[in-house]
Each structure stands twice: as structure tokens, then as C-alpha cells.
A = this chain, B = another copy of it.
Amino acid sequence: MAAITYLEAGRRALAEEMRRDPSVWAVGEDLGRGGVFGQYKSLADEFGPARISDAPISEACIMGASVGAAMSGTRPVVEMRFSDFALCAVDELVNQAAKARYMFGGQTKVPLVVRQPMGMWRSSAAQHSQSLEAWYVHIPGLVVVAPATPADNLGLLKSAIRCDDPVVYLEHKNLWTLEGEVPEDEHLTPLGVAETVREGRDVTLVTWSAQRWACLEAAETLSAEGIEAEVIDLRTLWPWDRDRVLASVEKTGRLLVVQEAVSVAGFGAEIAASVAEALHKRLAAPVKRLGAPRVPVSYAPPLEARVRVTAEAIVAAAREQITPAAA
């Protein structure tokens, strides 16, 4: 084991897969100089500019060309820079990549990975801060992944690159510098399998991406109060690990979904609804979601902070589920 950053883990994953499989290549703006966050640093030295390819500012074509390249014997890793810019390439991702295999009756597959750095990070404001995982989960044909740790960014990115489906791969910008232990040998995290990060008997916190850390912090605080929260990091949002979540809520009787995204019509609604459908009788308290209010993200630090889901908010919500305030 060695401690590396989340960013470095992604870099290592790509390098390992490119060494292993000559059909893997990466394409995006500025990749030759390491990419906007340095995720591709020095990869062009090892793999050359054809396989670590620069691109014009043409998100639609970066995505569309990758669809064509994926249908023609290569496995592109597509860098969108900020998940917000993927909105310039939605036809290509949703109408083309996600549907080609089905529309064409199974004649082709579209094995590409779209890296979309997501989330709030240092006053990035409304056009550089979005978390739109719910959109992609809603689209048949797509796999959706959102790693929260360096080990998972290594193991999930490698699995995503090996997956024959188009994968929307959501790294969180606020985690780039996070350090964590990572196996030195080949490390693959299976897609579709959640991690139970902490066991507990009183309430199940279901989360993904950066909110994993807020949940863990909240769980510590709750534990000091005698409330044991089970924390599940979904890691893959489609397919999500339904069995794991249901088993946990079966045990705890309480579900709190924690997401950074806007709560309204967010992915948390899917989980809350699914659990309410499946475990109504077992629930000791109503299912509950925490997420952002339905507002764009502000630039000013106090306004940006105002829409974050904090550990304190999680603690308060969990407490409330266990001991409802008098109405």
C-alpha cells in the first residue's frame, strides 16, 4: 500500500490500462500539457501525442468522434474538463453513444469513458460547479460512476475503461488532492458494487462522491451521541447496489440519502423512492433526502457554502429521524 492522491490514482489507472491495451487512448483539450487539473501529466511523454491527444475546443466533436472511434475498434477516454461542458455534447452522449448499440440491434458497442470532473470547488460559480449524475442515471445505455477515494478512482477508472458500455465517470474536483492508501498491485473495483464504509445499526446513510466524507464525519459525531450510522458509498450510480442498500435499511429501519446535487429530481429521489417502495413496513422513520436547494451555485464563498450539505446538516437530519422533534 502507498498513499497517493485521488488525482494521481486516476492518472495511474489510465496509464496502466493504456499499457495493457493498445486500443485505449485519451482525448481532450490541453491533455498534451497534462490537462486542466494535471490528471494527464507526463502521460504524453510515455504514450505520445496520438494516444494522449489534444483536442480543439469542440466538446460535441470530442464526444461524437469518440463514439465513432469506439465503434471502430478503439476505447477512447474522453476528457470533458468540467462536467458542465459536457452539456455542449449531450446529443453525442445521449442520442448517439447511449443508443447506438440498441438502435443498431446489437451490431456495435460503444466502449468509451467520459470523464466529467463535477461538483462545487472554490468559487467556481454556476457554470463550473454542477452535479448532474441524476441525468445520466435516467438514460438507458449509460453506466454512471462517481468515485470518492483514491483507491476507487484507481479501481473504478480501470474497470470503466474495460467496460464495453459508455461510462459517465464523475470525478469530484474537490477530491483531487485527497490522499489515501492504494494497493500497489493491480487493483480493480467492480462496477455496480457499493462499499459499506462504516457499519451501524441505527440509520443508513447512502451517499456517493465527495459527500462520503461529510457522511463519515457526521457518523463520528453521531456515534459520540450513541447513534450508530451505517455509511454506504454507492460508487456506481448505475447500476446501483440495490441489494446492499435494502439489506442495510432492513437492518437499521432508517434511510438518509446524502447528495451534493440539487435535491429536487436528484438521484437521491430514486433511492428514497426505491427504498420506500420496497421496505415501507420496515421503516421506523420516513425516508429522507439531503441535497442542495434548487438554486444555481454562487461564486461568493458564503453563498456557495450556504448550499452545501454539511456534516452538521447530516447529523441534524439523522438525529431527527431517530428522535423526531415534537410536531
**Interface residue ranges, A against B (CB under 8 Å):** 84-85, 87-88, 90-91, 94-95, 98-99, 102-103, 125-127, 132, 134-135, 137-141, 238, 261-262, 264-270, 272-274, 276-281, 283, 285-289, 293-296, 298
Note all chain B residues with C-beta closer than 8 A to A98: 296
Note all chain B residues with C-beta closer than 8 A to A132: 138
Judge whether A267 and B270 touch: CB under 8 Å.
Answer: no
Given known A90-B87, A127-B99, A276-B273, contact A138–B262 (CB-CB < 8 A): yes
Which of B95, B276, B281 meets A272, CB within 8 Å? B276
Measured in the bound complex, the distance between the Cα atoms of B256 and A327 in whole Å is 27
Judge whether B276 and A270 touch: CB under 8 Å.
Answer: no
Judge whether A286 and B296 touch: CB under 8 Å.
Answer: no
Measured in the bound complex, the distance between the Cα atoms of B136 and A294 in whole Å is 11
Chain B, Cβ-Cβ closest to A266: B138
List 6 A–B pairs whose Cβ atoms lie within 8 Å, in order of A's numbering.
A140-B294, A140-B296, A272-B272, A273-B276, A280-B280, A280-B285
Judge whether B127 and A103 touch: CB under 8 Å.
Answer: yes
Least distance between A206 CB and chain B CB atoms (Å): 12
Note all chain B residues with C-beta closer than 8 A to A238: 264
Note all chain B residues with C-beta closer than 8 A to A102: 126, 295-296, 298
Chain B, Cβ-Cβ closest to A138: B265
Note all chain B residues with C-beta closer than 8 A to A296: 98-99, 102-103, 140-141
Known: A102-B126, A280-B280. 9 other contacts (CB 8 A): A103-B126, A135-B265, A137-B264, A140-B294, A140-B296, A141-B296, A265-B269, A269-B274, A273-B289
Measured in the bound complex, the distance between the Cα atoms of B293 and A138 in whole Å is 10
Measured in the bound complex, the distance between the Cα atoms of B100 and A36 in whole Å is 25
Note all chain B residues with C-beta closer than 8 A to A262: 138-140
Judge whether A273 and B278 touch: CB under 8 Å.
Answer: no
Note all chain B residues with C-beta closer than 8 A to A138: 132, 134-135, 261-262, 264-266
